[in-house]
């Protein structure tokens, strides 16, 4: 079987599970950081970002052969857009299914993280809507898109797990928004009024900024890697035909 013959339901399960675990890692480590270092925000961010780097790397390695390990509606959208040129990547039904699975996964990840730490699931009141935060999301998302699709275009998809983990870890620190760069993660983090939370009113601005960032990333790809659309099947990492064995 080729990667495109993998059952959509199986890929959707991988995307839901991966996004759920990613948000569990982000929210859970944020709660743990608050409890362990209540008076040091810098140390809290270090603990949160370290857990995210390691956890995301592992998730990509485990689930990438099944679904490509997008865990991010922006990545799936760009994969679909670029793939239209060459008949590769996600189809429109794939895209819709991925986005729904990722969003459900993000919400469930917050709820489960809250439950593990015996914190009530509640809507976050942490306002993150400033011009600096929104610019940070544009920059973070553009860089993420450029990284992922550049690796695929240059046949270095095997490096995606450590590279994406490292980029997100760095972007925690060099962007003012702490690099959400992911609409599903942003929606999921609404449901935890903790260190990693985000107020619902901040999410639309974040999602718009992430879409703008994705467009910037696609523009940079067109300039730097004009053949990137031919490798949409290899995003984030190539899906293995062996994963389709029934």
Which structural domains are found in the chain, ordered by start? 3-223 (1.20.1080.10)
The residues, ordered by sequence, that sit 6+ positions from 198 with a Cβ below 8 Å of its Cβ are: 124, 126, 128, 180, 186, 189, 190, 206
pLDDT of residue 3: 43
Mean pLDDT by 10 residues, the chain (246 residues): 70 98 98 96 97 98 96 97 87 97 98 97 96 98 97 93 98 97 98 97 98 98 90 74 51
Enter the tokens of residue 106.
């993000």
Provide the 3-class DSSP secondary structure of residue 116: helix
d(Cα 14, Cα 20) in Å, to the nearest integer?
Answer: 10
**How many whole angstroms from its chain centre is CA 81?**
17
Question: Cβ(31)–Cβ(119) under 8 Å?
Answer: yes
d(Cα 59, Cα 64) in Å, to the nearest integer?
Answer: 8
Question: Cβ(61)–Cβ(161) under 8 Å?
Answer: yes
Closest by alpha carbon to 111, among 19, 48, 239, 38? 19
């Amino acid at each position: 079987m080729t990667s495109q013959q993998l059952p959509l339901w199986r890929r959707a399960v991988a995307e839901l599970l991966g996004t759920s675990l990613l948000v569990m890692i982000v929210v859970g480590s944020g709660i743990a950081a608050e409890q362990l270092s209540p008076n040091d925000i810098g140390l809290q961010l270090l603990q949160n970002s370290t857990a995210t780097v390691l956890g995301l790397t592992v998730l990509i390695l485990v689930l990438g052969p099944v679904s490509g390990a997008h865990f991010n509606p922006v990545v799936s959208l760009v994969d679909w857009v670029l793939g239209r040129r060459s008949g590769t990547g996600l189809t429109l039904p794939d895209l819709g299914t991925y986005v729904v699975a990722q969003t459900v996964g993000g919400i469930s990840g917050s709820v489960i993280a809250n439950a593990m730490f015996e914190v009530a699931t509640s809507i976050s009141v942490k306002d993150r809507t400033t011009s600096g935060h929104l610019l940070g999301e544009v920059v973070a998302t553009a860089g993420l898109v450029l990284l992922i699709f550049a690796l695929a275009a240059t046949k270095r998809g095997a490096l995606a797990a450590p590279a994406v983990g490292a980029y997100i870890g760095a972007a925690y620190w060099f962007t003012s928004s702490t690099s959400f760069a992911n609409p599903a993660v942003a929606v999921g983090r609404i449901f935890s009024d903790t260190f990693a939370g985000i107020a619902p009113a901040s999410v639309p601005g974040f999602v718009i900024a992430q879409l703008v960032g994705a467009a910037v990333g696609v523009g940079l790809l067109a300039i730097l890697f004009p053949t990137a659309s031919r490798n949409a099947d290899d995003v984030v990492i190539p899906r293995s035909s062996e994963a389709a064995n029934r």
